[in-house]
Structure 1
Amino acid sequence: MIRLFKHYIPHAVLLLGLLDLVLLIMASEIAWQWRAHQIGMDVGEVGGRGVALMGTSLVIWLAMISVGVYGPYALRSLRFAGARLLVAISLAILALALIDFILPSDLFWRSTLLYTMVLAIVVLVADRLLLNSFLGSSAFRRRIMVLGAGGRAMRLRELSERPETGFAVVAYVAMSEDKRLVEEAIPRAAIHDLGRFVENLGVSEVVLALQERRNALPLKDLLRIKTKGVHVNDFSSFIERETGRVDLDTVNPSWLIFSDGFSSGRMFSSAVKRIFDITASLILLVLTLPVIALFAALVKIDSKGPAFFRQQRVGLYGEAFTLIKLRSMRTDAEKDGAKWAEENDPRITRVGRIIRKLRIDELPQTWSVLKGQMSFVGPRPEVPAFVDSLEEVIPFYGERHMVKPGITGWAQINYPYGASVEDSRSKLEYDLYYAKNYTPFLDLVILLQTLRVILWPEGAR
Structure 2
Amino acid sequence: MHHIDLRMTNRKKIHFEISERKILLRLFDVMLVLLALYFLSSCFQFDYFRFSIHNYYWAFVLAFYLLLFGTVFEMYNLQVAGNQFQIIKSIILTATTTVSVYLLTPVLTPSLPKNRLQILFFYATILGVLFLWRMVYQKFLASDRFYKNVLFLADDKTVDSLVDELEKADPNYKVIGYFSTKESLKKKVKLQKITLETFEDFIKKHSISEIVIANKSTDEFPVEVYDKLLFFLEKGVVIREYSQVYEMSTYRLPVQFSEKDFYKYFPFSRSNQNKLYLYAIRLFDIIVSLIGLLIGALLLPFLFIANLLGNRGPLLYTQERVGKNGIPFKIYKFRSMVTNAEANGAVFAAANDSRVTPFGKFLRKTRIDEFPQFINILKGDMAVIGPRPERPIFVNQIAEIMPFYQTRHVIKPGLTGWAQVKHSYGETIDDSLIKLQYDLYYIKNRSLFLDVNIVVKTLSTVLFFRGQ
Q: Give 1:74's aligned residue.
A: 80
Residue 243 of structure 2 corresponds to 236
SS in 1 for 2:152: strand
Residue 254 of structure 2 corresponds to residue 250 of structure 1: no
Q: What displacement does 1:451 show? A: 4.4
What residue in structure 2 maps to residue 108 of structure 1? 110
Q: Could you tell me whether the CA contact under 8 Å between 1:12 and 1:140 is conserved in 2?
A: no
1:449 equivalent among 449, 457, 468: 457
* TM-fit CA distance, 1:232: 1.5
Mean alpha-carbon deviation: is it higher for 285-294 or for 58-67? 285-294
Q: Residue deviations 1:175-194, cap 9 Å, x none?
A: 45435643653442323xx4
Distance 2:84 2:464 in 1: 18
Is contact 2:350–2:426 with CA below 8 Å preserved after alignment? no
Cα distance in 2 for partners of 1:318, 1:211 equals 30
Q: CA deviation at 1:423?
A: 2.1
Inter-partner Cα distance in structure 2 for 1:9 and 1:287:
39
Please state how far the C-alpha of 1:438 moved relative to its aligned partner: 1.8
| Aligned partner (choices 15, 24, 32) of residue 23 of structure 1 | 32
Match of 1:390 among 398, 421, 439: 398
Q: Aligned residue for 1:5?
A: none
Name the residue aligned to 1:203.
208
Identical counterparts, % of pairs: 28
Q: Name the CA distance, whole Å, in 2 between partners of 1:367 and 1:184.
A: 54
The answer as to whether partners of 1:75 and 1:135 remain within 8 angstroms in 2 is no
Tell me, yes or no, if the aligned pair for 1:68 and 1:452 is still in contact at 8 Å. Answer: no
Q: Does 1:373 align with 2:381?
A: yes
Q: Counterpart of 2:314 in structure 1: which amino acid?
A: P
Q: Which amino acid aligns with 1:10?
A: S
Number of the residue aligned with 2:171: 165
Given that 1:411 and 1:427 are in contact with CA atoms closer than 8 Å, whether structure 2 keeps it comes out as: yes
Q: Offset of 1:83 from its aligned partner?
A: 0.9
Matched, 1:225 2:227: no
Provide the residue aligned with 2:294 in structure 1. Answer: 286
Shift of 1:351: 0.6
Report SS of the residue matched to 2:158. Answer: helix
Match of 1:10 among 8, 12, 19: 19
User: What is the CA–CA distance in structure 2 between the aligned matches of 1:452 and 1:178, rounded to whole Å?
Assistant: 48
Going from structure 1 to structure 2, the CA distance change for 1:285 and 1:50 (only over 3 Å counts) comes to farther
1:401-420 aligned within 5 A: 401-420=409-428
- Unpaired runs of 5+ residues, structure 1, are 1-7
Q: Deviations over 1:167-207 (max 9, x none)?
A: 1123322345435643653442323xx46753554322111
Query: Following the alignment from structure 2 to structure 1, what is the Cα–Cα distance between the partners of residues 35 and 49?
Result: 18
Instruction: Name the TM-score, length of structure 1 as normaliser.
Output: 0.85
- How far did 1:108 drift? 2.3
SS in 1 for 2:257: coil
Q: Are the counterparts in 2 of residues 150 and 210 from structure 1 also a CA contact under 8 Å?
A: no
Number of residue pairs matched by the alignment: 443
Q: Give CA deviations for 1:49-89 in whole Å, capped at 9, x if unaligned.
A: 33221112211221111121222332112221111111122
In structure 1, distance between residues paired with 2:105 and 2:375: 27
* Shift in CA distance, 303/182, structure 1 to aligned 2, threshold 3 Å: closer
1:415-436, CA deviations, whole angstroms, 9 ceiling, x for partnerless residues?
2211233321222122122222
